[in-house]
Amino acid sequence: MLFHVQMTVRLPHDMPADVADELKAREKAMAQSLQRDGTWRHLWRIAGRYANVSIFDVDSPAALHDVLSRLPLFPYMDIEVQALCRHASSIHDDDR
Task: Give the Cα separation of 4 and 83 in Å (integer).
Answer: 6
The mark string for 38-77 relative to a copy of itself (x by CB under 8 A, - otherwise) is: ---xxxxxxxxxx-xx-x----xxx-xx--xx-----xx-
What letter represents residue 24's amino acid? Answer: K
Per rule CB under 8 A, count of chain residues that contact a copy of itself: 53
C-beta of 84: minimal distance to a copy of itself in Å? 4
Q: Is 17 in the site for a copy of itself (CB under 8 A)?
A: no
* Rounded-to-integer distance, Cα 63 and Cα 84, Å: 15
Containing H/E element for 17? helix 17-36
DSSP 9: E
Closest separation in Å from C-beta 54 to a copy of itself: 9
The number of residues in the chain equals: 96
Are the C-beta atoms of residues 17 and 58 closer than 8 Å to each other? no
4 binds a copy of itself (CB under 8 A): yes
Give the binding site for a copy of itself (CB under 8 A): 1-5, 11-15, 27-28, 31-32, 35-36, 41-50, 52-53, 55, 60-62, 64-65, 68-69, 75-76, 79-92, 95
